[in-house]
Amino acid sequence: MTTNSASFLPPELLQSILLLLDFESFHCASLTCRTWRSAAQTTHLLRHKLQAVPGLQLTQQTTHEELKREFQRVCRRNLIGIRNGVQFTTSPDPESSAISAVAGRIGSIPVRSRYGVQSACVRGMTLVLDSPKSLGPGLPVPKGREVQLSPSIFPSADAARRVMGHNTTHSRAFFGARSFARLQISLSDCGNLVAVGLGRKLHVYLLQPRTAKQRQKQRQGQAQQYVEVDVSDSILDSIQSVEFAENDEVLRCEVDSVEGSYIRYLGFRKCSCSCSCTGSKASLSAAQKFKFWKAALRHAYLDSRDVEHSLGEEGMLSLRGMRLVKGPRRSPGRSPGEECTCRTEKYFFALFRPGTSENKYAVARISSDGVVDVIQRIPARRMQFLTSYVEPGVADSVEGNCSDSDRWDVQNLPRAHCHDPLLNVSDDGKILVVFEPPYAQAQGVVYLCSGDPAYWDDADTASQAWPVPLCSLDHDLDSLRASLDKETGGYVVDAGSQRHTMQWKLQRV
């Protein structure tokens, strides 16, 4: 049935068709033309569709205009329609994938950046960066750029003896199963800074233009400019991954320790309010950014262990995959003596594992005095959690009447069971991405969820933003990233594994 022929049908017939559709199909039909939209925006149909939303409470006194506003709010909050017109691309040949190429060459080291994954190799004390053509245009680092590593990044003989002694007397299996002496490398967004981690050491190097004058200075023994720091006081801790984030303002370090892994952010994050407290660092030169990191590298912006300690469940609760989230934008009408909340509050997205079956993905806020507040919970496939946020009558209807394609089907929710899920946040902080790897007979799934701060202060905490499954996979992923598409205004989700790379282009909702 075309949209033109729908104008000749009676509204009652169109409403009967709309009544049989699931929520997403109903939303799609209401956007086709004015005839379908008029038929869909009746009080009876809107109330009928909204009653299927878990946890949403409607009364008989709710007016037609309130129903229309509530329908729009539910659609935006639950990303209804984001899967319409998805453009999916994947590398046709696994051998042409950048990640496969990095993993396949002996001695190659993966280098993380916002442009994808490139490779590097170490020749003596020189780190040579390589930019394969498969990563596409736009990579700011040409092939063959070199970094002269400082000898201080390698552990001393005394530190190596202490580590081996601990390995022999305490936990041989622990150190036998971990990559303690593997270089972790990240390239900054500007392409002129390289972060290198080894053990507990972290160095940030400044890449200079490869001119003949510079090569002559290096041959004369002039040292490479760098700044270093120990991310931990224990020699048994080891950096497992490092990456630049927030426009090169922070470094995200995943550190493995005897007690378990944790996330530490180093650097200074600029104010995200509309009345910005600091200037943008996007226009800074490479030398200015390097000067910034000389002080910022020694400043711990956020540590997942501090959050665990603030929650008062140290040793029982652990945070997995923690990612920074942009805070809500404040109005510029602040009083002169009022301190900006960007200086007193930090927002993050993580998997909360309290040591029981009540694991949950959530967005939380930690204040300067150490108080942690969970401001957004993502429903998981666990009835104990759902019934605390969904009315019994609604929960029963969700269980009994949903099909596999229904937006409110409990089977489409994440399990929140895995130990190390991949989490990511879009550039504007409005899209949260979760990947749960394959488990037993279940496939791995990529989920999307709204993280829009506009709904954090919503008094109706019963109706949570439900995640939407984007894709099911039968293999694990090595990388996951969500970003804004500047051309279309939508979002791009990139994922990579040892087999191939995948990309989903989504429209803005």
Please tell me the predicted confidence (pLDDT) of residue 214: 58
3-state secondary structure of 426: coil
pLDDT of residue 294 exceeding 90, the answer is: yes
pLDDT digits (tens, 9 = 90+) for 34-53: 888 888 999 999 999 999 88
CB 118 within 8 A of CB 102: yes
Average pLDDT over residues 397-412: 61
Please tell me the predicted confidence (pLDDT) of residue 299: 93
Please tell me the predicted confidence (pLDDT) of residue 202: 94
Considering only 170-174, 372-376, 433-437, which range has the smallest mean pLDDT?
170-174
Please tell me the predicted confidence (pLDDT) of residue 462: 52
**What's the burial of 78, exposed, middle or buried (CB within 10 Å: 0-12/13-18/19+)?**
buried
What six digits make up the tokens of 462?
């019963």
Please tell me the predicted confidence (pLDDT) of residue 388: 39
CB 376 within 8 A of CB 350: no
Pairwise CA distance, residues 284 & 437, whole Å: 39
pLDDT of residue 279 exceeding 60, the answer is: no
- For residue 453, the 8-state DSSP code is G
Minimal CA–CA distance to 475: which of 505, 433, 446? 446
C-alpha separations of 210 from 24, 115, 144, 207, 474 in Å: 54, 21, 9, 9, 44
Q: What percentage of the chain carries pLDDT values higher than 90?
A: 31
Categorize the per-residue pLDDT at 436 as very low, low, confident or very high, splitting at 50, 70 and 90. very high
Please tell me the predicted confidence (pLDDT) of residue 219: 54
Please tell me the predicted confidence (pLDDT) of residue 129: 85
pLDDT of residue 194 exceeding 90, the answer is: yes
pTM (two decimals): 0.84
Pairing of the two strands 184-187 and 109-113? parallel
C-alpha separations of 213 from 150, 205, 210, 405, 413 in Å: 21, 19, 8, 63, 58
C-alpha separations of 446 from 181, 412, 470, 480, 491 in Å: 31, 11, 5, 9, 14
Pairwise CA distance, residues 81 & 225, whole Å: 49
* Greater model confidence, 215 or 409: 409
Number of Cβ within a 10 Å radius of residue 395: 17
Domains of the chain: 3-77 (1.20.1280), 108-298 (no CATH), 341-349+357-509 (no CATH)
Please tell me the predicted confidence (pLDDT) of residue 417: 85
Categorize the per-residue pLDDT at 320 as very low, low, confident or very high, splitting at 50, 70 and 90. very high
Please tell me the predicted confidence (pLDDT) of residue 166: 64
What six digits make up the tokens of 365?
């806020």
Q: What percentage of the chain carries pLDDT values higher than 70?
A: 73
431 has which bridge partners?
A: 450
Q: Given phi > 0 = left and psi -120 to 50 = alpha, else beta, which region is 470?
A: alpha
Categorize the per-residue pLDDT at 267 as very low, low, confident or very high, splitting at 50, 70 and 90. very high
Average pLDDT over residues 481-508: 88
pLDDT of residue 222 exceeding 80, the answer is: no
**Which sign does the torsion angle of CA 52, 56, 57, 62 carry?**
negative
Please tell me the predicted confidence (pLDDT) of residue 134: 43
Categorize the per-residue pLDDT at 433 as very low, low, confident or very high, splitting at 50, 70 and 90. very high
Categorize the per-residue pLDDT at 395 as very low, low, confident or very high, splitting at 50, 70 and 90. very low
* Greater model confidence, 278 or 314: 314
Please tell me the predicted confidence (pLDDT) of residue 402: 43
* Greater model confidence, 209 or 138: 209
Please tell me the predicted confidence (pLDDT) of residue 133: 46
Please tell me the predicted confidence (pLDDT) of residue 383: 46
Number of H helices, E strands in the chain: 15, 24
CB 375 within 8 A of CB 432: no
Please tell me the predicted confidence (pLDDT) of residue 178: 54
* Greater model confidence, 200 or 169: 200
Average pLDDT over residues 446-459: 81
Pairwise CA distance, residues 340 & 359, whole Å: 32
pLDDT of residue 446 exceeding 90, the answer is: yes
pLDDT digits (tens, 9 = 90+) for 107-138: 688 888 887 778 888 888 888 887 654 444 45
**What's the burial of 117, exposed, middle or buried (CB within 10 Å: 0-12/13-18/19+)?**
buried
Provide φ and ψ at 23, rounded to 5°: -65, -45
Provide φ and ψ at 261, rounded to 5°: -80, 155
pLDDT of residue 215 exceeding 80, the answer is: no
Average pLDDT for the chain? 79
Pairwise CA distance, residues 164 & 159, whole Å: 9
Please tell me the predicted confidence (pLDDT) of residue 339: 58
pLDDT of residue 307 exceeding 60, the answer is: yes
Most confident of the ranges 132-141, 181-190, 210-219: 181-190
